[in-house]
Structure 1
Amino acid sequence: FFYMCDPIIYVLLGLAVGYIGGFAGIGGGPFLVSFLVLYCGMSQLVAQGNILTMMLGPMSLLGVMSLYQYVKTQWLNIVVGVICYCICSYFGAIFAFYIGETDLKYYFAVLLIIIALMQFRSYLRKNAKEPHKEHISVYWIGVLAAVTGILGGMFGIGAGVLMVPILIGVFKLKKEYARALSLAILIPPVSYGAFIKYNNVNPVDWQLVGILFGTYFIANFFGARMGSKISGKAFTLIYGLILLSIAIIYLV
């Protein structure tokens, strides 16, 4: 299925999503999975397996390096988040195959809508006080990482797409600390548990994975630097609209 799209398309996709991922502190999984399914014609499960395999590498390393001052105070939370996410991603993958291809696409669309609504809520809170915390309880990180690990294994997404808005909106963590924590959790092979299940059923395309990882890795650094310099308010609205549009295409 690699040649369903020209390789240059995968290069451009990796660069674009890598930049967005670094900018917003997310892994970019929803964009990658939906593009492979809707544009390249892959099955939902095959696309998710390939993207979760891509996440085995240190895809956010350069982004974390640019945010290291915010990472170095959160090592315990990062370690706990990695362990909980990795273990629970395996169970998420089991759920994905139990649900099946057709229903999984429907639930994936619902997830995108939920994420989009979270972005809209953040955008509309113009007069809300800015998050002020620089640290949250390690126990809450364990719970949050476990939940996002299950959803990540089910839908082929990384930690950040759910973790960052929750850390900022619910736990009032400052934006840079939330982005740094999310990106740092993605450095180790946190999706290894899910990878085992997906690869056993549908062997991954390592050439595709290599192209997406390499391009994402390079672009992630520049996105993270830009995200530290400018407000993410406008991006939040655009990000939510894009996710909502993808969900509508899935449902229609």
Structure 2
Amino acid sequence: MFDLSGKRAIVTGSTRGIGRAVAEALIAQGARVVISSEDVVDTARVAAELKMPGLACDVADDIAQKSLVDFTLDTLGGIDILVCNAGITGKPGPFADADMDDYARVMAINLRSQVVLCNLALPHIAASGGGAAVLMASLSSLRGNGRINTYALAKAGVAQLARNLAVEWGPQGVRVNAISPGFIATELSQPLLDDAAFMARRMAMTPLRRPGTVAEVAGAAVFLASPAGAFVTGHNLVVDGGTLITDGS
């Protein structure tokens, strides 16, 4: 039920962290994956390591995103799976102190880019007989947050985008879902992993009492992209060890 043999995929932000884990998991199930990030050198290196095609793409650039889709069509012959993973956190702090230029960039990369890429790719997924898109949201979008407000706001929009697109594209056999990871151990989260006070507080709020792994988020993406998730669409799958549902006791 998780076999993806012959499927053709794009994964943005796939040179490290969750994005790379998703790409590796799709490949392990038989998919061919176009590797992509904004960094030309990183993209080439990871594409070579995974023995897959790669193209650098700044998702804030609409023309670059069209080039990514065109490259995938030329290289793989079609698109069956789209994973919109690229994103940035932006500057921390309350909305009262928001830098509106930073706000615009966070919104452009985390939300607008996913709208644009879905508009470019979903018609080709439909033309291939149907498939799946997985949009990366966040646990932060499901709770109040005093530090990464713009990021959380953008990610809430991503979850709604998945619902809207699921309604729009479902009749053409295209499923669209979101994933909301909680606290995941990555290179970017290492400073928090090293902060004993933060970890004690956060793990007390997490029933499984540990951070998640990138492989666990990737497993959710494989489920949503594969026949195992064939009747799931418009859903926001929370992968957080139970943080969302606990009262901290």
TM-score (norm 1): 0.29
> Which protein is richer in strand relative to its size?
2
Q: Which has the higher relative contact order, 1 or 2, with Cα contacts under 8 A spaced 6 or more apart? A: 1
Largest Rg, 1 or 2: 2
Higher helix share: 1
